């Protein structure tokens, strides 16, 4: 069965815009799970632009499958180890970017990433690497001893939204998903997805988890969180 992870970062973005307590990311996380989400994703950025440390602390204390996205450095590693989430996804991070712009550079930071992953493996925290859909990155993910890879789906999502040909990118993702699966890596997808993108990518049997945030929270303003989750689950959980 394929799974849906709901990223609630932009609930915190909306809260922070007024500097108050509303809307509450923890309340929304509980609602998302009750509406059919399989896990909750949060990205604790180094600049704390949306999710704050207190959000992580509170979410870590309740019985919700939590996927924590963090930059690949020792400070963030230690924060994750203290809070002990069920899942961790290592992502590249730049202060000036609006959103994550690509996958990790596994070759340049190979030793560092492998060390951090080993620390999470020792605590039995499932670890995922946010990567570009390339065979080389899949191979390095296996060498690093990650449990999963989350393929950056920004390019194919943009092509689909602009009604441009996406067949080459889709073939690349399919090939990478099959290769990762053959190596024993669980395959996830994330970034820029909406109803249409999710429906297309859900046909790839090897992709087991879809992590979607901005679209779900934005769409929820119009039709409600419960309805959005229901519509996406209809595509991926046939």
8 A C-beta contact, residue 44 and residue 4: no
Residue by residue, what is the 3-state secondary structure of the chain? CCEEEEECHHHHHHHHHHCCCCCCHHHHHHHHHHCCCCEEEEECCCCCCCCCHHHHHHHHHCCCCEEEEEECCHHHHHHHHHHCCCEEEEECCCCCCCCCCCCCCCCCCHHHHHHHHHHHHHCCCEEEEEECCCHHHHHHHHHHCCCEEEEECHHHHHHHHCCCCCHHHHHHHHHHHHHHHHCCCEEEEECCCCHHHHHHHCCCCCEEEEEECHHHHHHHHHHCHHHHHHHHHHHHCC
Residues carrying an active site annotation: 43, 69, 191
């Amino acid at each position: 069965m394929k799974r849906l992870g709901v990223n609630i970062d932009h609930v915190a973005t909306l809260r922070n815009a007024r500097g108050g307590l509303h809307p509450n990311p923890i309340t929304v996380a509980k609602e998302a799970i009750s509406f059919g989400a399989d896990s909750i994703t949060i990205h604790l950025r180094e600049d704390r632009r949306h999710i704050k440390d207190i959000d992580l602390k509170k979410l870590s204390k309740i019985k919700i499958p939590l996927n924590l996205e963090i930059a690949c450095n020792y400070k963030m590693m230690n924060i994750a180890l203290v809070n002990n989430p069920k899942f961790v996804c290592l992502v590249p991070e730049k202060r000036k970017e609006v959103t994550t712009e690509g996958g990790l550079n596994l070759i340049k930071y190979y030793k560092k990433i492998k060390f951090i992953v080993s620390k999470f493996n020792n605590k039995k925290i499932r670890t995922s690497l946010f990567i570009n859909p390339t065979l080389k990155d899949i191979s390095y993910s296996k060498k690093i001893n990650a449990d999963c890879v989350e393929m950056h789906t920004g390019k194919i999502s943009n092509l689909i939204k602009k009604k441009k040909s996406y067949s080459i990118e889709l073939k690349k993702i399919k090939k990478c998903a099959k290769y990762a699966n053959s190596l024993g890596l669980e395959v996830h997808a994330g970034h820029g997805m909406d109803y249409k993108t999710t429906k297309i990518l859900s046909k790839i049997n090897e992709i087991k988890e879809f992590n979607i945030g901005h679209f779900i929270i934005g769409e929820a303003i119009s039709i409600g969180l419960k309805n959005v989750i229901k519509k996406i689950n209809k595509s991926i959980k046939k």
